[in-house]
Structure 1
Amino acid sequence: MKIALLDSGIGLLAAAAAVRRARPDADLVLSSDPGGMPWGPRTADDITGRALACARAAARYGPDALIVACNTASVHALPVLRAELEPAVPVVGTVPAVKPAAAGGGSVAVWATPATTGSPYQRRLIADFGGGAEITEVPCHGLADAVESGDTGAVDAAVAAAAALTPRGVRAVVLGCTHYELVADRIRAALAAEGAPGPALYGSAAAVAAQALRRTGLAPDPQAAPTGGLTVLLGGRPAGLPRPARSYAEGRLLAEAGSGAVRAAG
């Protein structure tokens, strides 16, 4: 079994690690566009073109499914990607976890990039799935870029700025950018009240990994032999995992699990 993932940068690590945990025997193809990152401020046509280039590069490796591990690309490029690849390769998009986060009611914050915050797409998600929850949209200036570079000081500064915009006592936080899941512990710590646990965080990685497995007709098997290989494509070319990826637990998991079967240029 082979699962491909695409994103502008290393935000795909969270979903890739979720697939690896569920199926250690699955080969992974990670296709990203570091030269074009971030995609959020780009036009819809540009985002679609870049996502399609990443998908085509991954498709050359014969995946059984493709995860679009990027909220922005899922909004703009999903129909085009599905038209080109399906039914041969099922395409699984990523949607911020507003629905499960709002199910418990109360105060909910949606952390997202400035380009997504307040966008018609996010407002529709909140209107459709927000239920009776009191939802606050929080723009996270510079957080995705800081995560991408592995700059812990910049990450902490961006997380602190977003935390200051988040209502006190918030019950749940939706991580509306896949990059944010890589620093979930830092986000939780920044939002934790003194002597109390932080809010529940809702990401998308586990859900999209599970959906990709369903689309391939395979069940999770965390005890499977860890034989899955790892292929990394940067701008369509074989490469190694970007150095910042190893700053995160998800990146280290992928590097270690795939160390015996990494297909890279060096």
Structure 2
Amino acid sequence: MRISFVDSGIGMLSTAAAVRAARPDADLVLSMDPDHMPWGSRTPETIVGRVLAGARATLDAEPVPGAGGCAPDAIVVPCNTASVHGLTTLRAAFEPEIPVIGTVPPIKPAAAGGGPVAVWSTEATTRSRYQQGLIEEFGQGAAVTPVACVGLAEAVESGEAAALDAAIAYAAERTPAQTAAVVLGCTHYDLVRERIIGALGGRVELFTAAAAVAAQTLRRLGVPAAPDMPATGGVAVLASGRPAGLPASALNYAAGQALARVPQA
């Protein structure tokens, strides 16, 4: 079983690690785009092009030495911005032969508690009609505040502590004081959830999509979670289509450390 992940950078790590934990026998292909990141500040047309390029690059990737090339059994887009703009195009290109699984901000479960809710996301996702539609459909009457987290995805990517603290503080200052739940609408943010909770004074519940996307991936593949399977799966990393290793910044985070222990192509 081979599963591809397409994102601009290391925001995919939490979802990929969740899939690895559920199916350690699966080969994972992590298609990142360091030549064109970040995607969050780019036009929708550019984002669609980069997502398509990242997905196509995984078709013949070789996760483990000697395994040979083959198409993925599923393509996962563990990126809210890429899902907002590129999911329809990806599905038109690859389905029904290869299921494509996107990432949706978990607004519905966050709003179920009655709110108020803040949705932290990139500038592109914050201003998208797609996210506004999700808020209108799933906000369930709760007060929902979109928060554009300027520079946060980039700071997570670099792993620089000062940049992380500054970007998180910027978003925290724009989060209403009475907020009860924060939706992390960018998968990069999931990697620094403890820092975010600390900046918000420990007073909020965070909602992330990684576990739900991993579960949906297995459902689309028609296979159960089997965390006790032999850990026979490997990991391949692509950097804008080129074979590469995990970025050094990935090792700043628990999900990256877990994937680094998996045999690399």
TM-score normalized with structure 1 length: 0.93
Select 2:186's aligned residue among 170, 174, 177. 177
Q: What is the correspondence of 1:1-266 to structure 2 with a 5 Å cutoff?
A: 1-61=1-61, 62-192=71-201, 197-256=202-261, 258=262, 261-263=263-265
Cα deviation, residue 198, structure 1: 3.2
Length, aligned pairs only: 256
Structure 1 unmatched runs, 5+: none
Structure 2 unmatched runs, 5+: 62-70
AA of the residue aligned to 2:177: R
- Name the CA distance, whole Å, in 2 between partners of 1:81 and 1:121: 16
- Name the CA distance, whole Å, in 2 between partners of 1:77 and 1:251: 25
- SS where residue 201 of structure 1 aligns? strand
Cα deviation, residue 7, structure 1: 0.3
TM-score normalized with structure 2 length: 0.93
RMSD, matched Cα:
1.2
Cα deviation, residue 188, structure 1: 0.9
Deviations 1:1-32 (CA, angstroms, capped at 9, x unpaired) = 11110001111111101101111111110001
- Name the CA distance, whole Å, in 2 between partners of 1:159 and 1:44: 25
Deviations 1:215-254 (CA, angstroms, capped at 9, x unpaired) = 1111111122222100000010110001101111000000
- Name the CA distance, whole Å, in 2 between partners of 1:73 and 1:158: 21
Deviations 1:71-117 (CA, angstroms, capped at 9, x unpaired) = 11111111221111111210001111111111111211101112222
- Name the CA distance, whole Å, in 2 between partners of 1:138 and 1:76: 19
Cα deviation, residue 132, structure 1: 1.7
Deviations 1:155-207 (CA, angstroms, capped at 9, x unpaired) = 11111121111112321100011100010111011112xxxx43111111111
Of all paired residues, the percent bearing the same amino acid is 60
- Name the CA distance, whole Å, in 1 between partners of 2:102 and 2:135: 18
